[in-house]
């Protein structure tokens, strides 16, 4: 089976799930649970580790 290689590596901080819904414990006036979304601080909600734009080979 073909395995698609992702162009960018998955963010190791959130493991590819950059945005999560967090219940606040409160309910909206309509009775639904109120949730807030939080983005991964490491990848800022992209789900991928930051591409090495300033690509510099360190070393020899
Ligand atoms: Zn992340």
CA of 37 to the centre of ligand 1 (A): 14
- Residue with structure tokens 């006036």? 29
CA of 31 to the centre of ligand 1 (A): 31
Q: What is the DSSP track for 12-49? A: TTTTT--EEEEEEEEE-TTSPEEEEEEE-TTTTTSSBP
CA of 20 to the centre of ligand 1 (A): 11
CA of 42 to the centre of ligand 1 (A): 5
CA of 17 to the centre of ligand 1 (A): 7
Residue 53 has pLDDT above 60, yes or no: no
Single pTM value for the model: 0.54
Q: Count other C-beta atoms under 10 Å from residue 1's C-beta.
A: 2
Question: What pLDDT, on a 0 to 100 scale, did the predictor assign at position 55?
Answer: 56
9-36, pLDDT tens digit by residue?
A: 899 999 999 998 999 999 989 999 999 9
Contact 27, 21 (CB under 8 A): no
Question: What pLDDT, on a 0 to 100 scale, did the predictor assign at position 2?
Answer: 72
How far apart CA 2 and CA 51 sit, in angstroms, is 24
């Amino acid at each position: 089976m073909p395995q698609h290689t992702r162009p960018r590596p998955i963010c190791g901080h959130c493991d590819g799930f950059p945005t999560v819904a967090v219940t606040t414990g409160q309910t909206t006036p309509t009775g639904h649970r109120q949730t807030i979304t939080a983005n991964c601080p490491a990848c800022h909600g992209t789900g991928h580790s930051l591409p090495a734009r300033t690509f510099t080979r360190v070393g020899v």
